[in-house]
Amino acid sequence: MRVELRGITKRFPGVVANEDVNLVVEPGQVHALLGENGAGKSTLMNVLFGLYRQTEGEVLLDGVPASFSSPADAIDAGIGMVHQHFMLVPVFTVAENVMLGVEPTSAPGVLDRDAARRRVLELSARHGLDVDPDAMVEDLPVGVQQRVEILKALYREADCLILDEPTAVLTPSEIDDMLEIIRRLADEGRSVIFISHKLREVRAIADTITILRRGRVVGTTTPDESDEQELATAMVGRDVQLVVDRSAASPTDVVLRVSDLRVRDERDQLAVADVSFDVRAGEIVAIAGVQGNGQSELVSAIVGLRRPTAGRVELDGTDVTGANPARMVELGVAHVPEDRQRDGLISSFPVSDNLVLNLTGRSPYSRGIRMDRRAIRENAERLVQDFDIRTSSIDAAVGTLSGGNQQKVIVGREMSHTERLLVLSQPTRGLDVGSIQYIHHRIVQARDQGLAVLLNSSELDEVLALADRVIVMYRGGVIGEVSGEEATRDSVGMLMAGARA
């Protein structure tokens, strides 16, 4: 299906989200929509999917003007959308989720589960999706859940597929699979709109790239015409440095020493098996690995959120195995958690309170039990300035900030109190190029100030850009270590996949 957006403008009270956007998506093509968070990509797609009605402009499907008042209209017209946050019922099976809303019946009111199952099997075989129709959705890994979402769209016979940041939640190998699936869907004659801010993926998969900035189209190009640097510049609107500027590390004393650490996960499975390594002051050590190979559990054990079953964690030579998080903060350890919404912030609390979340018990933020509001406000004003946190006020609820700025709140808070060790888990996940660049710069700065930095990232580019040493984890153990200079996409990637060097 040929999808054309002509002069789309969408205004919200006080904000213009899209202004005069023109976009043509040809059948059989993957059309990438590139832009930073807040550039208006999602709003534009919500217009196409019938969730919003445009203020001006029109939508044409195969040359015929279309008007949707709800997603149901859009689905009827052959448009399918896979949202960034999945819309699945966790306790239903794959087949049940897929047929939800368009259930086949054998007699009026009687579900025909077999028909649905057959159709799911047939669709997943045809498109190489490899999904078990009887599996419970909550038991499936995120990557497979996403395929279920795609199946839902295909089941409804979508001719045009909108994928909103489909790779944000995926691991490197899942991303490769996903790109392959997308290519195949396009080859069958569908039009695919691929929303992303990841330059490499966009260049790998797109036939045409449209770049949005502040609600306007600032350029349309193809992967052959533009390299990553040019795309980044167009997207952000100024020159960005994709390579992190850093000098060689000059590591000194050992700050963190982990020896023979064993950690079990929530299901009491051994998640970390006899891991040992050191981190010295003035160096960045990255833990690389495909998500779910024990990195999260390892980090939790180091910062005191999970008790190891065996082994030792030493900080500056002192045994801190099993110390609680408050004690670790006292000892000068800071931690940027993996899931910022869940662990790092209290979204209903103001920015100022979130900037002292784990520090309220200490001077100058409190005396006795009495909190010093002024000190908290002064701290907030300083950090908002220092870390370039974009917020309407330090009293705004932190949940109203964009993802990048929420992360800056956490990074700012943690960097404001760390004296010895900075632990960062997925510090830039889901952030836009500008914010990533900024946070990377601050991490290198922290290292140069003599902190020991432990970086847990499943983003290979990030590991390669920052690490002075890379420790690769595979199935709970350390499968190899590579120095920063030797680390390449291939050498680390091989280890991540479990091939010993």
- What is the contact surface with other proteins in residues (CB under 8 A)? 304-305, 324-329, 335, 337, 342-350, 353, 357-358, 360-361, 366, 369-371, 373, 392-393, 395-397, 400
Query: 């701290």: which residue's tokens?
Result: 379
Question: Among residues 327 and 390, whose Cβ is nearest to other proteins?
Answer: 327
Question: Among residues 253 and 339, whose Cβ is nearest to other proteins?
Answer: 339
Least Å from the CB of residue 366 to other proteins: 5
Question: Among residues 236 and 328, whose Cβ is nearest to other proteins?
Answer: 328
How far apart CA 38 and CA 333 sit, in angstroms, is 33
Least Å from the CB of residue 334 to other proteins: 12
Least Å from the CB of residue 139 to other proteins: 22
Which tokens is 50 given?
């019938």
How far apart CA 288 and CA 401 sit, in angstroms, is 29
Least Å from the CB of residue 132 to other proteins: 31
How far apart CA 409 and CA 405 sit, in angstroms, is 6
Which tokens is 357 given?
């979340």
Question: Among residues 304 and 427, whose Cβ is nearest to other proteins?
Answer: 304
- CA 350 → CA 346, 347, 405, distances in Å? 8, 8, 13
How far apart CA 37 and CA 402 sit, in angstroms, is 8
CB 140 within 8 A of CB 148: yes
Least Å from the CB of residue 339 to other proteins: 8
CB 20 within 8 A of CB 81: no
Least Å from the CB of residue 331 to other proteins: 11
Which tokens is 447 given?
């290292």
Least Å from the CB of residue 412 to other proteins: 15
Select from 90, 114, 94, 89 the least CA-distant residue to 104: 114
Question: Among residues 14 and 109, whose Cβ is nearest to other proteins?
Answer: 14
Question: Among residues 325 and 403, whose Cβ is nearest to other proteins?
Answer: 325
Select from 404, 380, 403, 376 the least CA-distant residue to 393: 380
Question: Among residues 288 and 423, whose Cβ is nearest to other proteins?
Answer: 423
Question: Among residues 201 and 414, whose Cβ is nearest to other proteins?
Answer: 414
CB 405 within 8 A of CB 436: no
Burial 238-269 (b: 16+ CB within 10 A, else e): eebebeeebeebebeeebbbbeebbbbbeeee
Question: Among residues 1 and 357, whose Cβ is nearest to other proteins?
Answer: 357
Detail the DSSP E strand segments found in 62-186: 64-66, 79-82, 105-107, 110-111, 160-164
Least Å from the CB of residue 286 to other proteins: 22
Least Å from the CB of residue 27 to other proteins: 41
How far apart CA 147 and CA 128 sit, in angstroms, is 10
CB neighbours of residue 125 within 10 Å: 11
Question: Among residues 142 and 357, whose Cβ is nearest to other proteins?
Answer: 357
Least Å from the CB of residue 318 to other proteins: 18
